[in-house]
Structure 1
Amino acid sequence: MLDHIALQVADPAASAAFYDRVLAPLGSTRLLDFGQVIGWGTTQPRFWIGPVTTEGTARELHVAFAAADRTQVEAFFAAAVAAGAEVLHAPRVRPEYHAAY
């Protein structure tokens, strides 16, 4: 349904370094880089970040990336933790959403 999504981030350089690390296990790479606006994907950019351009307080956002299998899920999780991500919930199957979630 979605073609792509873009997030505003406070520190584009630090965020880019983080997403370079955590998206690699999913097969995604940095495909376009316009300085502070960067897009990752496998064949075309589907996930973008850019600098904050609006006023107000930042809010938490839940983004779930697709993985081909549990091995990719575990590799993504390990890369995120190694890159300093805060762990709210360890990966597990959540069939209440769908069979492979």
Structure 2
Amino acid sequence: MTPHLDSVTVGASDFAASAEFYEAALGALGFVRTHELVDEEEDDAAVEALGWGPAGAPAQVWLVTSGVPTRDVHVRLRVASRLDVEEFHSAALAAGGREHAAPRRWTPYRRGEFNAIVRDPDGNLVEAVAPE
């Protein structure tokens, strides 16, 4: 079997703000929330982990509460079109993301690709990339 990445987990300092960001950014790419986990030993426990993935597939991106948030991770997601990249970028910024690289061609580094990169509330990079 060829190794492949199963999922990535990001720890958040402000779970609610990060959840809003990832819901919007990943939702713009067609990801759906696949998991919502709480501590089953507590009554009225708050959600501590969320997972998103393509409809009908396991979660590929996880967000968890964390005393020490994840920093400087770069999550790169392949999408079908330039429109997907642009919609991701707009949705991510509207949901509290910060600009890192606006939608554009990256000819010196990645020929044949159209990308946008946004920082999540803790500064991690989330990128959408489409073939040109």
TM, length-normalised to structure 2: 0.67
For 1:81, the equivalent position in structure 2 comes to 93
Q: Deviations over 1:26-54 (max 9, x none)?
A: 11011001021110001210000111145
Structure 2 unaligned spans of 5+: 38-46, 114-128
1:44 aligns with 2:44: no
Match of 1:2 among 2, 5, 8: 5
Aligned residues: CA RMSD: 1.9
Q: Could you tell me which amino acid in structure 2 is paired with residue 75 of structure 1?
A: E
Indicate conservation of the 8 Å contact 1:29/1:40, yes or no: yes
Q: More displaced, 68-77 or 85-94? A: 85-94
Structure holding more helix per residue: 1
Q: Could you tell me which amino acid in structure 1 is paired with residue 110 of structure 2?
A: Y
1:99 aligns with 2:102: no
Give the whole-Å Cα distance in 2 for the aligned partners of 1:71 and 1:44: 25
Greater Rg by CA: 2
Aligned residues between the structures: 99
TM, length-normalised to structure 1: 0.84
Structure 1 unaligned spans of 5+: none
Give the 3 Å change call, closer, same or farther, for CA 97–53 of structure 1 in structure 2: same
Give the whole-Å Cα distance in 2 for the aligned partners of 1:70 and 1:16: 25
Q: Deviations over 1:9-67 (max 9, x none)?
A: 1122221121111111111011001021110001210000111145xx86322222221
1:28 aligns with 2:31: yes
Give the 4+ runs in structure 1 shifted more than 3 A: none
Give the whole-Å Cα distance in 2 for the aligned partners of 1:53 and 1:59: 12
Indicate conservation of the 8 Å contact 2:36/2:51, yes or no: yes
1:65 aligns with 2:86: no
